[in-house]
Amino acid sequence: MTRFAYVGSYTTPDRHGRGNGINVYSVDRRTGAFRHIQRISQLENPSFLALSPDDGHLYSVHGDRSEATSFAIDRTSGKLTLLNRQSIGGYNPVHLAFDRTGRYLAVANYTTDSVCVLPVLTDGSLGPYKKLTFVTGELGPHKTQQRGMYPHDIPLDPQGRFFYVPCKGGDCVISYRLDAVRRVLVETSRVAARPGAGPRHIAFHPRRALAYVLNELDSTITTYRQDRRTGKLVPFHVVRATPADFTGYSTGAEIAVDRAGRNVYVTNRGHDSVGVFAIERASGALTPKQWVPTKGSVPRFFCFDPAERFLYVANQGGHSIVAYRVGRGGKLSPTSFRLRVGSPACIVFSRGASS
């Protein structure tokens, strides 16, 4: 079965966007190369994407806008067909994620400090949200980057019990459970970060009760223990996301843990690198292992292909996607793959069966 990649982008002048919508590619599993097959261009800032668990539908939120969009996927060609658009009740949605059943999508609205839940209907289209949950709390000390709570991420933990929302402006991470009867997210716990850290994105260990948060404003990574019963996080280790001898300005962007649970990966905007950190077996704390250049500016996003043979970086400012081969120990080595894409912001892969 052919594997497909879907790439979202920034398109509007207010985001300095040079993108042209969502682009669809077939993927060569051996070399990691992309071949273009479709463009959906009548979209503004389709900046974060989510693929349904069965690879049958694609969903997008739109940066600096107030909606989410659903698409049907032709399983043979990978091509998209627009189903519908749905209001998300706030402004500038930055992330969306499925619940454990695949029947609901949780959305984080960055600028208007709210989260909501959209039902996924039987045909794959999106139903209306029922009630917003407003994200409130004390703001951090940064005068320009912490004027609101700024919820920036909303992934579900591996056990499928809690959504976690790092709040860049509120210097905290909040956990929520889904009340499916009322179709609303309910706060269950929160943990404070260091003042001015600016928590941005969170990733979870695949087996151990550990979470890793990339802090945007101070370019650090915090390791947390997770209480799987209550959802509460407890911090116990902090490490720099950039090398100790780097003295320039940089902000954290994306974070992920590999499937083996041995390494954490982050991207740094300013240092323009992917950082690789080993997970200590006993404690789960991080030790720097490698930094590789992203060969383009503003590496907003990265992800692995489903087999974790390649790691792909979306250089928003460099208008490119570059690939690295993932070694057995988790270190990255460069490949010749470089794709010109205007302002790429997100990449998702169809999982597909192995060919």
| Position 179 in a domain | yes
Q: What letter would DSSP give residue 63?
A: T
In a domain, 215, yes or no: yes
Q: How far is 200 from 194, CA to CA, in rounded Å?
A: 13
Q: Domain residues for 272?
A: 135-293
Model pLDDT for residues 239-269, shown as the tens digit of each residue: 999 999 999 999 999 999 999 999 999 999 9
Residue 192: inside a domain: yes
What is the phi/psi pair of residue 316, to 5°? -60, -45
Question: What's the structural domain count of the chain?
Answer: 1
pLDDT in tens, 29-62: 999 999 999 999 999 999 999 999 999 999 999 9
What percent of the chain clears pLDDT 90, i.e. is strictly above it? 98
Distance (Å) of CA 94 to CA 21, 77, 125, 310, 355? 16, 28, 20, 25, 34
* Position 355 confidence tier, pLDDT thresholds 50, 70, 90: very low
Domain assignment present for 254: yes
Q: Is residue 34 helix, strand or coil? A: strand
Residue 353 banded pLDDT, cuts 50, 70, 90: low
3-state secondary structure 118-137: EEECCCCCECCCCCCEECCC
Residue 144 lies in a domain: yes
Return the H-helix or E-strand segment holding 347.
Answer: strand 344-349
Q: Which residues are paired to 22 by β-bridges? A: 40
Residue 58 resides in a domain? no
Q: Is 333 exposed, middle or buried (0-12, 13-18, 19+ CB in 10 A)?
A: exposed
CATH code, domain with 280: 2.130.10.10
Say if 225 falls within a structural domain: yes
User: What digits encode the pLDDT tens for the residues 317-352?
Assistant: 999 999 999 999 999 999 999 999 999 999 999 987
Q: Does some domain include residue 210?
A: yes
